Amino acid sequence: MGAELQVLAEVLKMKKLFTAGCWLLLTVIITVLATGCSQRENPAMPETYPEGMVLVATHHYPNLEFLEDETRAAFSSRRVSAYVPRGYKLDVVGQRYPVLYLLPGYDGEPSFYYSHGNENYYQAASIAKVADRLIATGEIKPLIIIMPDASTPFGGSFYCNSTLEGPWENMMIDSLIAYIDRTYLTIAGKDSRAISGHSSGGYGAIRLAMKYPDMFNSVSCIDAPLAFTGNGAFGGITELFDDYLNESGITDIPSFYDADTLGFRAQPYKMLMYSMAGSFSPSGVMDPSTAFGKLRIDLPFDYEGNLISTTWDKWLAEDLYSWLDNSTYVDNLSGQHIYFETSDHDMNLFNEQTLLFQEKLTANGISFTSAQFEGYTGYEARSRSFLNDRIEFLLKFHNQYLEDRFEEWENRHSGN
């Protein structure tokens, strides 16, 4: 009986916090209206709301095979970060939560979403803080957000099955989801499960939704590489080949084969090219005579940026834009709730690819919701800043479709 009273007290406390949060939101809206339409500056630090937690666990993926040498370690055990809302520990009453799988981009790090070190505002605008605010103000239902570590020796995964970097597609569908449903208080099932991601994580989200329509009820992505060839003249992956060569100082054949992973994370075009090659065109052959030869990847271009069609064709086989020519994938997406966020600036032109993908969805009669963010003076729509400003709209979208059991839970404990 004492435990039940303790739970009831906690619930009443949460309701009071919710009510206070609603009045606080109303006060903020009135204040904004009163200030008029002056030029927007970086947002002020948001108010404090009841806080959830980001729990970090380790999951062992079975049957992972990696090539063994001094440059690659086995990544069979990976961190999995999970945002859980305030009140999560009240599991004694059987409360369970819908789940959003939020896939990291090509650096593979889930901390991108929840642990920003770039000034105080970014920490306050992390996924946990945004979710805390939206839950406290009643704009979204409490949910669990899963952010897997998808880092690879070349940056991050594109969530396909690779003989070099591991079977990430199978790992997600066959292993991770089952682990999450065993470990956390989830509502296991399609109707309470969504998937999203940024950059290559967005690619992975759309890819998995296209292949496994029975796993997720909604999918979204933010500035993702969804149309590798662009519109034929602009926005394609091939435009980035020269960026890689210039960034790495490659001017001849020797410098092409001297390229390695040194300074990797300070060279974003190298990270992107190697990540895509590790996912889509692993060579399976090591040539120890050169630094590049030890990487066991093939690039779809030579030292002058000329296309190598045999390798490029392997990349095109993984191009989701072309997958929309397949009626099975069209049918799979037709039953999904889909949302896109794009910026007006992406260094890789992934925003343009996302827009092209949307056009082809429309041509195939597939409906979706989309929004474009153009930033503002002193705050361009780039990566972190763009994500921080727009992640709440992504959460609000999925909130419309994720089924929960909170009404049943509330009725059971209010005597209805």
Structural domains of the chain, ranges and CATH numbers in brackets: 53-227+326-414 (3.40.50.1820), 237-316 (no CATH)
Give the model's pLDDT for residue 359.
97
pLDDT, one tens digit per residue, over 83-98 is 999 888 755 567 899 9
Write out the two tokens for 162: 């690779």
Q: Report d(CA 263, CA 405) in Å as an integer.
A: 48
Contact 87, 7 (CB under 8 A): no
Q: Which of 216, 281, 277, 271 is nearest to 248 (CA)?
A: 271
Q: What amino acid occupies position 36? A: G
Give the model's pLDDT for residue 114.
66
Distance of CA 210 to the CA centre of its chain: 16
DSSP result, 280-315: H-B-----TTSTGGGG-B--SB-TT--B-HHHHHHH
- What is the DSSP pairing of strand 166-167 with strand 53-60? unpaired
Task: Give Cβ neighbours of residue 98 (< 8 Å, ≥ 6 apart).
Answer: 141, 143, 144, 186, 187, 192, 193, 194, 402, 403, 404
**Which H or E element spans position 118?**
none
Write out the two tokens for 295: 């990487």
Q: Report d(CA 319, CA 180) in Å as an integer.
A: 29
Give the model's pLDDT for residue 78.
80
From first to last of its 416 residues, the chain has per-residue pLDDT tens of 444 444 334 433 444 433 444 443 334 333 433 444 434 455 555 556 678 888 888 887 765 544 444 334 446 678 899 999 988 875 556 789 999 999 988 766 776 676 643 333 334 457 888 899 999 999 999 999 999 988 888 888 899 998 888 888 998 999 999 999 999 999 999 999 999 998 899 999 999 999 999 999 999 999 999 999 998 877 899 999 999 999 999 999 999 999 888 877 788 899 899 999 999 999 988 889 999 999 999 999 999 999 999 999 999 999 999 999 999 999 999 989 999 998 877 778 898 999 999 999 999 999 999 998 776 666 565 655 556 678 889 999 999 999 987 655 455 445 44
Contact 164, 67 (CB under 8 A): yes
Give the DSSP letter of residue 395.
H
pLDDT, one tens digit per residue, over 259-283 is 888 877 788 899 899 999 999 999 9
Q: What angle do CA 88, 213, 275 make, to 5 degrees?
A: 85
Give the model's pLDDT for residue 122.
38
pTM (predicted TM-score)? 0.82
Q: Report phi then psi at 334, rounded to 5.
A: -60, -30
Contact 74, 66 (CB under 8 A): yes
Contact 375, 386 (CB under 8 A): yes
Contact 147, 128 (CB under 8 A): no
Give the model's pLDDT for residue 156.
83
